[in-house]
Structure 1
Amino acid sequence: MSENTKAVVELEPRRARGRPKAEDLAALEARLVRVALETFLAKGYGATSMNEVARAARVSKGTLWARFPTKADLFRAIIDDQIRQTDVRFRLPGPKPKTLEAMLRAFSERALQDSLSEEIIQLNRLIYSEAGRFPELGEAAWMRSHVGVQQVADWIAEYAVKEDVPCRDPDAAARVFTTLLRGFYGDVMLKGRIAAVAEIKAWTQDMLKVFLAGRSHW
């Protein structure tokens, strides 16, 4: 367990009393999600109560529950926030890559580098360790994974037309591709080792060589 996980969650500065203005609600919800993430990582999902999240965020229980009625809703909001951040980070500058291989390489390298950040690793370890007792964690993780699969499937279908390489089942190909990515990620995460950028690039190149070799059968 890392020092970050052992750390006691710091209390947020106390918010001024009174009903928040409409323009402040988005900022409030973002703060609640951030504090919930810090609390879950520090104490574990099962060991954290909604009362503790409200106390750490310096809001009333009613304020928290009005926006997130259950702990599962709060965790799904954390995953939603991750999905939004990933989407923003992956917006490539300039024109799209000319080939499917180049697009998948750019996506793979960025996705692996982002997911190997300390915070994401801690969150995924929490999901792995507690999903058996709390199925909502697995459901939220599946939702995050499904978004990635759909994005890859859309690219596969798009480049099938651009490169005149027919694809019968983009969804199946995308599921295989993302499973390959998760395999590398799981190996790094569970062993607790550091994957250098050069290793990620080399593995991505080898993975794409094997994956794209079967393209005519997709």
Structure 2
Amino acid sequence: MPENTRAAIEIEPRRARGRPKAEDLAELEDRLIRVARQKFVVNGYGATSMNEVAKAARISKGTLWARFPSKADLFRAIIDQQIQQTGDGGRHLGPRPKTLEAMLRGFAERALQDSLSVEIVQLNRLIYSEAGRFPELGEAAWARSRAGVQQVTDFIQDYAAKEGITCRDPEAAAEMFTTLLRGFYGDVMLKGHVATAAEIKAWTRRMVKVFLAGRPGW
């Protein structure tokens, strides 16, 4: 694998023997997720065994299996953590914007900036390359996509009531919106282009305007 696509695998300190205390469980799961993500990115999902993850995390195989009964469960935990870290329901925008246009622009900019981080790009390339052999990767990515659709659906419903504009099918509109985002993201990722904040801002401004032009038909 080319050097510039590798993720360094951190050396984890050895965990003390014995059953982890309740207050240590969250830290333990974070460690396992971090190590598994690094191993998957460097070696590939199919080529990484649960035993290798346990060894890299310096914990017993029993402890790993107790937290994550399968490799698919471990990968889903990685995706769930991404959703929690990046899907904050628009709270990153600060005070709620006055219009749906402003809300969607802010959401789209943040979603693209987060998704174009090195860590998430590496993981998405892994999903695209191995989902054909391991359907659980595609299923996890689909769940992440649905979380985004639900967020945008909620925005559209909230602002339909606030702005007095009827929306007959907010979920369908949200699906179209997220499809537009994925199109831009896919182009940037596949070309290996580093999109600047200014480029993301300009594109999202144009995209949201075009999207909202069809609002009467929603």
1:96 partner SS: coil
**What's the CA shift for 1:29?**
0.9
CA distance in 2 between counterparts of 1:159 and 1:89 reads 14
**What's the CA shift for 1:125?**
0.3
CA distance in 2 between counterparts of 1:4 and 1:23 reads 37
Aligned twin of 2:27? 27
Deviation sequence 1:26-46 (CA, Å, 0-9, x none): 111111111100110110101
Which residue type is aligned with residue 76 of structure 1?
R
Deviation sequence 1:35-93 (CA, Å, 0-9, x none): 10011011010100000000000001100000101000000000010011113495235
Aligned twin of 2:57? 57
Q: Is 1:98 aligned with 2:98?
A: yes
CA distance in 2 between counterparts of 1:100 and 1:72 reads 37
Cα contact 2:87–2:148 (8 A) shared by 1: no
Which residue type is aligned with residue 217 of structure 2?
H
Which residue type is aligned with residue 34 of structure 1?
R
Which residue type is aligned with residue 185 of structure 1?
Y
Q: What stretches of structure 2 of length at least 5 have no aligned partner?
A: none
Identical columns (%): 76
Aligned twin of 2:13? 13
Aligned twin of 1:163? 163
Cα contact 1:4–1:42 (8 A) shared by 2: no
**What's the CA shift for 1:17?**
1.2
1:42 partner SS: helix
CA distance in 2 between counterparts of 1:208 and 1:89 reads 18
Deviation sequence 1:82-109 (CA, Å, 0-9, x none): 0111134952354200000000000000
Deviation sequence 1:159-198 (CA, Å, 0-9, x none): 0111111000000000000000000000000011110111
Over 2 Å off, 4+ runs: 1-11, 87-90, 92-95
Cα contact 2:7–2:38 (8 A) shared by 1: no
Equivalent residues in 2 for 1:1-218, closer than 5 Å:
3=3, 5-6=5-6, 9-88=9-88, 90-92=90-92, 94-218=94-218
CA root-mean-square deviation = 1.5
2:9 partner SS: coil
The TM-score, its normalising length taken from structure 1, stands at: 0.96
**What's the CA shift for 1:12?**
1.1
Q: What stretches of structure 1 of length at least 5 have no aligned partner?
A: none
The TM-score, its normalising length taken from structure 2, stands at: 0.96
CA distance in 2 between counterparts of 1:34 and 1:120 reads 13
**What's the CA shift for 1:9?**
2.6
2:87 partner SS: helix
Number of aligned pairs?
218
